[in-house]
Amino acid sequence: MAGGLTSTLLCINSGSSSLKFAVYALPVVDQGQCLAEGAVERIGQSVGRLWIQTANTDRHEERGHFADPGTALAALFRSLDTLSCPRPAAVGHRVVSGGPRRLEHTRIDTDVLQDLRNALAFAPLHLPAEIAAIEAVAASWPEIPQVACFDTAFHRDIPEVAARFPLPRNLWHEGVRKYGFHGLSYEYIVSQLPDAGRGRSIVAHLGNGASLAAIADGRCLDTSMGLTPTGGVVMGTRSGDLDPGVLLYLIEEKGYNGPQLERLLNRLAGMLAISGVSGDVQTLLAQRDKEPHVAQALDIFAYSVRKTIGAYMAVLGGLDRLVFTGGIGEHAAPLRWSICRPLEGLGIRLDPVANTDARRCISREDSPIEVLVIPTNEDLTIARHTQRIASLA
C-alpha cells in the first residue's frame, strides 16, 4: 500500500463503541492524499468488526472481540502493518472537549493529558474513549508525537453575550459556559465555501449528534451545543435543551441521581425516546408512514433545527447561505425538506429535484438564500493541524 511513500500521518476519532481512523500521506496539501480509512466497530461487544479500505480499493476486514479502545487500537496497528502501511510520523486525535484549560489544538504531553482527565465532566460520553486512545498510542509508539485537535477550538471566540449562562459569575470563572462542538467539521466546511465564510452562513452539522453554528467573516457568533454536547437541538439519543425544571423534577420527584440523569439525557432521550423505536434517522424514515410516534420524532427534530435556523438568522442580521453536513444533513433529503419548507417566507427555497439528488446546491434559482449540501471531512482538518503542530510540513 505504501507505494514508495515513507511518511504518513494517522488521524483517530474515538467513541465509546467505535473508533474511526484515516491515514494520510505527508505532506498534507490541498485535499490531502488519504491512503486508507476505516473503523473498529462494536467495541466492548461480544463480536466486533475492523475494516480498512485502502486507496487502491484493497479492503481488509476482520471480526473479533475488541474489549476496549486499547484492544481495538492494537488490532488496528497490526492490520496497518499487514497492509505495509508506514508507521506514522505523528498521530492526531479528535478530542471533543478540553474543558476550560484547553481551547487550542496542541501537542499532547503529560500536562495536556492530565487536563483532559480533569475535564471529563465536560464531555462524559466522549473523553474516556479519547483518553484511552491517546494512552494506547503512547504505549505502542512512545516516540511518536500526538496532537489533540479540539472540537471546541473553532468556537473559542464566541462573543461573551452568547457564551455566558445566566448564572452566578463565579461559575463562569470555573468554566461553566458555552463551549460549542463539531468545530473540526465547521472549520472544514468554512474552508470549502467560495468566500471562505466571509458571508453570513448557518451550518447545520446533523448526525446522531447534531448542532448548528452561526458564522460571519469566518467566525462563530453562536452555536447550539453548550457546556457539553448534550445541549442544543433534539438528537438521536440526546435530549438537547431542556427546561432546568425538568431536571429538578426528576431529582426531587423521581429520585434520579447523577449517573441516571446522564444515561437518560445522553442515551435514552431524543428521537429514540419520542419514537420508542430508534434514534437512527434512516430507520425512522423507513417507518415514518406506518408509526405515528416515529413521524412525531422526525417532526420534532426538524422543528428544533428549523427554530434554531430562525434564531441564528436573527443573530446574523440576515442570511446568505445555509449549509447541511453530517450524516443526516448529507443523506436525509426528506428531513432537509421538512426543515426548510416552512422557511420559504424567510427566503429559503429548496429545489425538490436537487434536494432529492443531494446536489451541492439544492436551492432554487430564485431563492434569496443559497442552500448547500457539503460532505464534511473532520479527518482532513485533524491532519492539517497535526502536520502543523508536529512540525512535519
Residue 118 host element (H or E): helix 110-118
Beta bridge partners of 89: none
Q: Is 63 within 8 Å of 79 (Cβ atoms)?
A: no
- Among the listed residues 359, 369, 260, 238, the one whose alpha carbon sits nearest the alpha carbon of residue 304: 238
Tallying the residues shown for the chain, one arrives at 393
User: Which residue among 68, 81, 151, 320 is the active-site one?
Assistant: 151
Per-residue cell: 122:
465536560
Per-residue cell: 187:
472549520
Q: How far is CA 148 from CA 102, 127, 168, in A?
A: 10, 12, 31
User: What is the DSSP secondary structure assignment for residue 80, as one 8-state letter?
Assistant: H
Strands (E), the chain: 8-14, 18-25, 34-41, 48-54, 59-64, 90-95, 106-107, 146-150, 200-206, 210-216, 219-223, 321-325, 370-373
200-206 and 321-325 beta bridge pairing:
parallel
Question: Is 151 annotated in the active site?
Answer: yes
Catalytic residue IDs: 151
